[in-house]
Amino acid sequence: MTFDPRITPARPDLAAKHLEGKVAAARFVEGQEREVIDAQAPVRRAPRPDAEQMTEALMGERVTVYELDDDGWAWGQLEADGYVGYMPASALIAPRAAPTHRVAALRTLAFPGPSIKLPPVATPPLGARLSVLREQERFAVATIGYVPAGHLAPRDRAETDFVAVAERFLGTPYLWGGKTNLGLDCSALVQVALNACGIACPRDSDMQERAVGALVTSLSTLERGDLVFWRGHVAIVHDASTLLHANAFAMAVTIEPITAALARIRASGSDVTSVRRL
């Protein structure tokens, strides 16, 4: 049996206990649950600050950690989408109260008290999860501080239009492995927007192409919200004539004509592999 290393917590020297008998490893360990405390934390391919960032974990996410090394790196698996990699151990803490709310603004600020004149203590992005204890005036009092209540939504209250969520990121820089308004890549734009609508979505475009929506057989019948896939890329149909996507050509999230995007990407040696409709 072949396992995808991106979502399988297994290395030649170490693997998750539940994989014993399924993969080869020198030893198997039970993981320890941790919570992401930083606004966003890099998930890297190797335990080095200059290693490739594969994705990011957002504040409030749970992570199963299988190893903490002496250099301050944690190796583990994200609960939400199953991604495996190395994270700074300093970005993780023992789990606190279960999250009750999610950040619904592109980014919000947490203050140490009920005043916007105080210096912020945290800057959680869209999709971050917070545990709210009570409301005070215009603030939600969370475990991280005082957050503008209007920037939050209960975790069980989902957005209804993922294309509109993705539109909020227009102009955001393209960042390989990024998942926030400081920078994100093509598949993160899709994942974050769908997650905001309560729709589970894998992290990478090839995973999304296999798992999300139903196949559309013709490019001539595109509808708003369709996902157009190339090898290594995904774009959202914005309307009958345009695509919305995070792309390295513009190094930003942009809207561009479908015909121009198809021609440009085809000229680079790639063609549409499929279209999926939710």
Cα–Cα dist 120/3, whole Å: 43
Total length of the chain: 278
pLDDT at 118 over 80: yes
pLDDT at 116 over 80: yes
- pLDDT for the residue 273: 96
What are the tens digits of pLDDT across the range 173-221?
999 999 999 999 999 999 999 999 999 999 999 999 999 999 998 888 8
Between strands 53-58 and 62-68, the pairing is: unpaired
- pLDDT for the residue 220: 87
Chain-centroid distance of CA 149 in Å reads 23
- The answer to whether the CB of 125 falls within 8 A of the CB of 40 is yes
3-state helix, strand, coil in the chain (%, to 5): 20, 40, 45
The stretch 242-251 carries a mean pLDDT of: 97
Average pLDDT taken over every residue of the chain: 97
- pLDDT for the residue 218: 86
Cα–Cα dist 194/278, whole Å: 10
What are the tens digits of pLDDT across the range 101-112?
999 999 999 999
The stretch 60-74 carries a mean pLDDT of: 98
Q: Nearest to residue 83, comparing CAs of 121, 44, 118?
A: 44
Q: Nearest to residue 125, comparing CAs of 187, 189, 200?
A: 189
pLDDT at 1 over 80: no
Cα–Cα dist 103/37, whole Å: 14
- pLDDT for the residue 2: 84
- pLDDT for the residue 278: 95
The stretch 246-269 carries a mean pLDDT of: 94
What are the tens digits of pLDDT across the range 14-43?
999 999 999 999 999 999 999 999 999 999
